[in-house]
Amino acid sequence: MAVYALGEREPVLGKDVYVHPDATVIGDVRLGDGVSVWPGAVLRGDYGTITIGARTNIQDGTVIHCTFTEPTVLGAGCVVGHNAHIEGATIGDDCLIASGSVVLNGSTIGSGSVVGAGAVVPYKSNVPARSMAVGVPAKVREGTEIPEGHLTANVELYFQNAQYYARDLRRLD
């Protein structure tokens, strides 16, 4: 796995963390127990701190960064879809940040929420808990309440898949 210190900034990996060999984790990045980081994902804590809660999965091609003034924080049990970009934002527990979406600096995504595929959550936006934000720029879809536990199966699937990869992945070239 590609896990790097940058000066005095070193990643901290919890128990049962899986970082794919083609993913990159740099600097002040804290991965909670059971987190998985998939191929091509980059978590770069060079100027600030990135904290990822337990059993969250960061899927292929995702970029997570932070700034001097805005850490990036993801809660527990989140699913971050392929090719998402999160920068200096705070995301609550049990959120889906769908494929190709962008969550920008100073934004807050409430627990249990969904950011739809391809959505762009603009600078300093707020998505309330159990809401769905879609579009460019992302707007909360009124009348949509996300049910509690909507990600449980996906989070468990990715945790089990990470254990399988950690045990059985082997390079053939």
Whether residue 106 contacts residue 88, with contact meaning beta carbons closer than 8 Å, is answered with yes
Single pTM value for the model: 0.95
pLDDT at 145 over 80: no
Give the per-residue pLDDT at 146: 81
Token representation of residue 113: 């929420």
50 residue type, one letter: I
Q: Residue 160 has what DSSP assignment?
A: H
- What does the pLDDT average to over 121-133? 97
Tokens 């005095």 identify what position? 8
Q: Report phi then psi at 19, rounded to 5.
A: -115, 115
Torsion over CA of 44, 45, 47 and 52, rounded to 10 degrees?
A: 120
Among the listed residues 105, 20, 120, the one whose alpha carbon sits nearest the alpha carbon of residue 70:
105
- Segment 59-103, tens digit of pLDDT: 999 999 999 999 999 999 999 999 999 999 999 999 999 999 999
- Segment 156-167, tens digit of pLDDT: 999 999 999 999
Summary mean pLDDT of the chain: 96
Give the per-residue pLDDT at 87: 98
Q: Which residues have CB under 8 Å from 145's CB, separation 6+?
A: 130, 131
The separation between the first and the last C-alpha atoms of the chain, rounded to the nearest angstrom, is: 17
The structural domains of the chain, ordered by start, are 2-168 (2.160.10.10)
Tokens 């009124």 identify what position? 142
Whether residue 92 contacts residue 75, with contact meaning beta carbons closer than 8 Å, is answered with yes
Q: Which residues have CB under 8 Å from 156's CB, separation 6+?
A: none
Give the per-residue pLDDT at 170: 95
Exposed / middle / buried, residue 89 (Cβ in 10 Å: 0-12, 13-18, 19+): buried
Give the per-residue pLDDT at 104: 98
pLDDT at 52 over 90: yes
- Segment 7-34, tens digit of pLDDT: 999 999 999 999 999 999 999 999 999 9
Q: Report phi then psi at 13, rounded to 5.
A: -110, 125
Give the per-residue pLDDT at 53: 98
Whether residue 59 contacts residue 36, with contact meaning beta carbons closer than 8 Å, is answered with no
